[in-house]
Amino acid sequence: MRMLRRLLQRLLVVAVGAVAIWLIVFVIFDFADRRLPWVMALAVTYGLAAYVVLPRAIRLGLRILQRGRVPSYTLTGDGLPGDPVNIALIGTKRQLCEAFAVMGWSEAAPLDVRSSVRMVRAFVLKEAYPNAPFSTLYLFGRGQDIGFQLPIDNNPRKRHHVRFWGRSATRAEQTIDTPDFWFGTDRPAPDEEALWVGAATKDIGFSLTRLSFQITHATDDDTNLERDFLVQELLRHDVIANIRSHRSGETIGKVNKYVTDGEIAVADLKV
C-alpha cells in the first residue's frame, strides 16, 4: 500500500512538471513569440517561468510528496536544503527592525519582477542596491517574514544578510523541542513577542538557483562564521542580551554546500 501511494505521488509530481513545461513552451513562449521580437519573447518567458510558473509547480509537487521531517535548515522553492538555521532573536517585530536599523542594516525589498530587474542591473553594472531583494527560502511552511542586509564595500554582489521567520514566543516555548515547532505555519501578530528564527549567510557572488533558474547570489560555505559575525555586531551595538546556545537536533555537519555545527545562537532583543 505504501509503495502504491508513493508511486501515485511521484506520478502526480511528474504530471505537474509536464504541465509546467507545456505551459512555459506552448502557451507563454508561443504567446510572446507571436507579439514580440524573439529576444524579448525569451526574456518574458524566462521571467514568467523562473518567478511564477516553476516556483508554484515545485511547491505543489512538494505538497503532494508531503515531506515530513524536522529540519535544521531552510528549504529552497525547489525543495532542496537551503541555508542552515543559525540564529534566533526574541522580541517583537518592531524591536527586530529597530535593532537592525541601529546597526545600519537595510530591510530587503519584496522579490518581484521590478526588484529582480533592478537587481540584475545592479549585478551587471555594480551599482549600489542596499535593499536588494532576497530569493525566497521556506521554514514553517512559508517564505521568510523579513530579511536584513549589509552590503560589503558597496558591492551589490557581496553582502551580509539574514532571513527571519517569526513564531509566537508562547507557542515556541511549548513546542520548541517537538516536531510541532517546525511544522507550525502561524505568523505572530505585529506587536506580539515572538521567536525570530533566522538563517544568516554571506553573499560573495552570482549564481542561478537549481530547477527554477532564478538569478541569485552565491554564498560563503561557512555559516558558523557568519552567525558569529552577526552576533558580534548585535552585541557591539548593544541591541541584544542574555546570549545562549540551542542545538536544533543533531549536529548537521555538511548541509547542501554549507559547513555548519548545528548551533543556534539565541538572544533577547532589548531595543
Q: CA-based Rg of the chain, rounded to a whole angstrom?
A: 20
**pLDDT of 74:** 84
The total domain count for the chain is 2
Domain that holds residue 232: 73-269
Residues of the chain under the 70 pLDDT cut: 1-2, 59, 62-71, 78-80, 172, 174-184, 206-217, 247-260
Q: Which residues contact 14 (CB under 8 A, 6 or more apart)?
A: none
Which residue shows C-alpha cell 517564505? Answer: 143
**pLDDT of 216:** 63
**pLDDT of 190:** 81
Averaged confidence pLDDT in the chain = 79
Residues 148 and 257 in one domain: yes
- The answer to whether 186 and 165 have CB atoms below 8 angstroms apart is no
Residues 47 and 10 in one domain: yes
Residues 185 and 262 in one domain: yes
Residues 53 and 86 in one domain: no
pLDDT digits (tens, 9 = 90+) for 66-92: 444 445 778 877 666 788 889 989 999
**pLDDT of 44:** 84
**pLDDT of 70:** 43
Residues 44 and 90 in one domain: no
- The answer to whether 82 and 76 have CB atoms below 8 angstroms apart is yes
Buried/exposed 184-201: b ≥16 CB within 10 Å, e otherwise: eeebbeeeebbbbbbbbb
Residues 209 and 159 in one domain: yes
Closest CA relative to residue 67, chosen from 141, 158, 169, 147: 141
- The answer to whether 233 and 202 have CB atoms below 8 angstroms apart is no
- Distance, in Å, from the CA atom of 98 to the CA atom of 158, rounded to the nearest integer, reads 23
Residues 226 and 162 in one domain: yes
**pLDDT of 140:** 83
Last residue of a domain, one of 38, 65, 92: 65
- Distance, in Å, from the CA atom of 172 to the CA atom of 180, rounded to the nearest integer, reads 9
pLDDT digits (tens, 9 = 90+) for 102-140: 999 999 988 777 877 877 777 777 777 788 888 888 888
